Structure 1
Amino acid sequence: MATLSEIVLYPIKSCAGISLRKAMVTRAGLMSEHIYDREWMVVDLSGVCLTQREHPRMALITPRIKLDTLELRAPGMLQLEIPLGLPHPEDASLIGVELWEEELKAYDCDATTAAWFSSFLGVPCRLARFHPDVVRLANPKWTKGVDAPTLFSDGYPILVTGTASLEDLNDKLGAKGRERIPMNRFRPNLVIDGIGAFEEDYAESLRAGELLLKPVKPCPRCPMPSIDQATGEFGPDPMDILQAYRAKAEVEGAICFGMNSIVLEGDGQQVEVGQEIEVELAF
Structure 2
Amino acid sequence: MPASDPAITVRELIYYPVKGCAGTEVDSASVGEMGLLHDRVFMAVDAEDGSFRSQRTLPALAAVRPEVLDGGARLRLSADGVESVVVEVEPDAERRAVTLFGRPVGEVPDQGDMAAEWFSEVLGKRSRLVRVPPGFDRDGWGETPGKVGFADAHALLIASRRSLDDLNARITAGGGRPVPMNRFRPNIVLDGCAEPHDEDRMRGLGIGTAEFAYSVRAMRCAVPMVDQVTGVRSGPEPIRTLATYRREPEYENKVSFGMKAAVLRHGVLSVGDAVRVTWAAEQPV
TM-score (norm 1): 0.91
Equivalent position SS for 1:81: strand
Mapping for residues 202-241 of structure 1, pairs under 5 Å: 202-236=201-235, 237-241=237-241
Q: Where do 5+ consecutive residues of structure 1 fail to align?
A: none
Aligned partners of 2:209, 2:66: CA distance in 1, in Å?
30
> Does the 8 Å CA contact 1:158/1:262 hold for their aligned counterparts?
yes
Q: Does structure 1 residue 25 correspond to structure 2 residue 31?
A: yes
Q: CA deviation at 1:263?
A: 1.6
Aligned length: 269
Q: Is the 8 A contact 1:248 1:256 kept in 2?
A: yes
Partner residue in 2 for 1:125:
127
| SS in structure 1 of the partner of residue 154 of structure 2 | coil
Which stretch shifts more, 166-175 or 94-103?
Answer: 94-103
Spell out, residue by residue over 1:59-115, the C-alpha distance to the aligned partner (whole angstroms, 9 max, x if none).
Answer: 11001222242111101111111224624xxxx211000112221211111111111
Match of 1:274 in 2: 272
Where in structure 2 are the equivalents of 1:173-252 lying within 5 Å? 173-195=171-193, 196-236=195-235, 237-252=237-252
CA offset digits 1:203-236 (Å, max 9, x no partner): 1222114322112201110100000011111114
Counterpart selection for 2:81 from 39, 63, 76: 76
Conserved 8 A contact 1:221-1:256: yes
Q: Within 5 Å, give how 1:85-104 maps onto structure 2.
A: 86-87=91-92, 92-103=93-104, 104=106
Give the match for residue 4 of structure 2.
none
Instruction: Give yes or no for contact 2:17–2:68 (8 Å, CA) kept in 1.
Output: no
Moved over 4 A (4+): none
Q: Which of 47, 52, 61 is 1:58 aligned to?
A: 61
Identity of aligned residues (%): 33
Measured in 2, the distance between the counterparts of 1:157 and 1:82 equals 25
User: 1:250 is aligned with what amino acid?
Assistant: E
Q: Give runs of aligned pairs for residues 142-157 of structure 1, distance below 5 A.
A: 142-143=143-144, 148-157=146-155
Structure 2 residue matching 1:168: 3-state secondary structure: helix
C-alpha contact (below 8 Å) 1:8/1:20 kept by paired residues: yes
Aligned to 1:40: 42
Tell me which residue corresponds to 2:3: none
Residues 2 and 277 in structure 1, CA contact (< 8 A), matched pair in contact too: yes
CA contact (8 A) 1:218 1:251 kept: no
Secondary structure at the residue paired with 1:112? Answer: helix
SS of equivalent to 2:20? coil
- Unaligned residue ranges in structure 2 (runs of 5+): 1-6
